[in-house]
Amino acid sequence: MTAKDYKLIFTGTMGAGKTTAIASISEIPPVRTDVATSESQLASKTTTTAAFDYGEVSLPQGDILRLYGTPGQTRFSFMWNILSEGALGVIVLVDNSRPDPVQDMRDYVDAFRDVVGRSRAVIGIGRMDSHPDPDIDVYYDAIGQLGLDAPIMSVDVRRRDDVLVMLDVLFNQIEAAEAEAEMDTVGIA
């Protein structure tokens, strides 16, 4: 059996933990394109991703997960389009301590609607320990109102195991979606 490459996207607002998530699981030194933030931006972070982060995870049967982290800021949204080309799945990271994290989720789900709509997405909510509201049910309601469905889970991206669980769920979704597409192709559905 030939090993496959899977291109997966980590997206979400600036500070949601995309760079940290990729760094916590990548088996290679991650490629980073961090740049210093301008003072005028009043940002809480001193650096931000300008192009993308990149890391790799290999699976036991030889398949490779290629992980791309998008810039978080909307002025870099042209990179979202470039990076989502050929992506098989997306992890949307949300920072629950932000003023309107549910709207953040809506914005990024909408930006990657093509991938999310094909049942190839997982939503990870961060900082729920210190900011428990809104809870997971609110997010499920919001994504349901968008006419979409995706697993939603609390995550601490600094914990390798948390990120691996998200990847595992996403990968299972992708396999299920691909199996369904294959059955459709051969007329078994």
Partner 1 sequence: MSAAPKNDDLDRAACQPHLEALARNKEVLGALISTVDGFEIAAEVRATTSVKKLAAMTSSLLALAEATSQEGEVGNCIDVVIEASEGMVLVMDVPNDSRKLLLTVLCNKAATLGSVLWAARNTRTAIGSDMNR
Interface residue list for partner 1 (CB under 8 A): 31-41, 48-52, 71, 73, 75-76, 78-79
Q: For partner 1, give the closer residue by CB, 67 or 170.
A: 67
Of 118, 69, 121, the closest CA to residue 91 belongs to: 121
Q: How far is the CB of 57 from partner 1 (least distance, A)?
A: 19
Q: How far is the CB of 67 from partner 1 (least distance, A)?
A: 15
Mention every residue, 6+ apart, whose C-beta is less than 8 A from residue 92. 11, 12, 105, 108, 109, 112, 116, 121, 122, 123, 124, 150
Q: How far is the CB of 128 from partner 1 (least distance, A)?
A: 29
Q: For partner 1, give the closer residue by CB, 74 or 172.
A: 74
Number of residues assigned to the chain: 189
Of 68, 93, 89, the closest CA to residue 79 belongs to: 68
Q: For partner 1, give the closer residue by CB, 23 or 79.
A: 79
Q: For partner 1, give the closer residue by CB, 83 or 152.
A: 83
Q: For partner 1, give the closer residue by CB, 73 or 119.
A: 73
Q: How far is the CB of 161 from partner 1 (least distance, A)?
A: 28
Strands (E), the chain: 5-12, 34-36, 47-49, 53-58, 64-69, 89-95, 121-126, 152-154
Q: How far is the CB of 179 from partner 1 (least distance, A)?
A: 36
DSSP per residue over 69-86, as a string?
EPP-SGGGHHHHHHHHTT
